[in-house]
Structure 1
Amino acid sequence: MPESPLSVLVAVCTLHRPQMLRRCLDSLCAQEGAPPLRILVVDNSPDAECRDMVAEHYPQAVYASEPRRGLSHARNKAVDEALRLGADWLAFIDDDEIARPDWIASYMAAMATHPAEIYHGPAVPIYPPDLPAWFRIRPPHDRELRYNAGSIATGNVLFSRGIVENLTFDPAFNRTGGEDLDFFCRAQDLGARVVWVPDAVVHEPVVPERTTLAFVLRNAYETGLGKALLRIHQGKRIHTLVRKGPQLLFRTVYGIFLALVAAPIAPFWPQRVGQFAAWKANRVCHAAGMLAGLLGYRARGQRPVEGY
């Protein structure tokens, strides 16, 4: 008898972005060359604000509400639903992303030739046309993807059932982010095999709010907080403070000094100096966040939602 096709459930965790969610769901409904997808929408708003929209426009999708605020809670709800529905594989895509028509087909092709427990692909940013000069030269969003579990993000990933049966996302990271990094590090500790699938592309339109210096620096600081929290959870707080503490402190102080030096000459070379200053400021905020986290500071407010 022929083998039954693998059951793939695609989960979209969403909060206060109904238009972006519809765009994402439309891209999932337009997948080509793959078995019919099962789609799950996890609504992280306390009042289940997108329930009616999903029921009206996407009746084939499963809707689940997770009123406890935080991505870890929402992702764990998706895991619970995937296990309840008997899915063999669970894919995550962010609600502000658009899947290429061959997204799932590319994953299925990789599964046939490279057995693994985790597959991940690129999230390609689409920037608005009116970027500031400092952002256009070297956008802070751009980063080289390293092919190991520690660099994977949950905006474009596919998990085997065996992985999500044994791991959950830690709610301690709800206010800083980093729950995906923590999850993948623990998966790697369990021996999970990870395969990079460059053809499994999703696109991420970048909203203007994320091209401001305030967002870039806040994001760098919170990323540092999240990485510090990860080190603490791994039992490496003292080790990291001893090994990296002086470096983080120096980077913070030196970056502030360079910013003060650059300020008077910035009007004469706004593009070059602006790009350099933004890059240094990003590193300063990341270092400051990691140092603050290692010293015991915890984020107290909820992370704002950008988008529409």
Structure 2
Amino acid sequence: MQTIHALNPLRRAIAELRENAGAGCRLALVPTMGALHEGHLTLVKEAQRRADLTAVSIFVNPRQFGANEDLDAYPRTLQRDAAMLRDAGVDVLWAPDAGEIYPDGYATNVSVDGVSAGLCGADRPGHFDGVATVVLKLFNQVRPDLALFGEKDWQQLAVIRRMARDLDLSHPHVDAIHGVAIVREADGLALSSRNRYLSPAQRSDAAALPAAMRAAIADMAQGTPADAALATLRSTLRGAGFDTIDYAEMRHADTLALARAPGPHIRLFVAARIGGTRLIDNMPVQ
């Protein structure tokens, strides 16, 4: 595996890899912010299944953190992450610093309306502008044939898909944006780099999040009105030790428009805080 920190060496390395792989080879990109876990490695495995070459980026993007968020505290474990990716058989690790992504005088922002509103977009102003901007830059730098993102960050996935459609990001930038199913712990908690912020007691209590979501979905399937089921979900989380519930809503999977009742292509989205840690999750509501 080649670990690269500057753009010109990255482009040379990718050109050489493509040439050596031969005509028709496909390159997959897995963008990450590091602090890798099994969920990221699942993305890598899916990338390797779909493509001949795999690149992973690690960049803690300052433009997607708000003024009072955890940019400075966000875990940075590049040496450990690189070892994991090397063992997984990744071809290229793209690990630029902030000056490489946003050089002096940088003045461009990418904004995606509609799907970026509500949910995390309402609670984290400017977050999805930062996501769209850095992902577009990564696409232009790596020029993959496909890219893979985890479905835990469903709104992020929707924003990136909308951007790719609107800006005609066809080959050689990226032909397809693939979502990969959420990877969960044995107790149901979605894997996240931020889970390491939880104390042992908070980690135990956090399992109430997916459990309460499953219970709300089951209640609605038995005929409980959606408003009542979601009210019970919020009450359950507060009783389990969550300090605040930022949102607990049903939305259409593609447009993220609010939904008032369960049905095909409807998902339940929840964001809640326990201690200083904000956890998000989503599940289909059939």
Q: Scaled by the length of structure 2, what TM-score is found?
A: 0.36
Query: With CA pairs under 8 Å and 6+ residues apart, which has the higher RCO, 1 or 2?
Result: 1
**Between Structure 1 and Structure 2, whose CA radius of gyration is higher?**
1
Give the structure with the larger helix fraction. 1
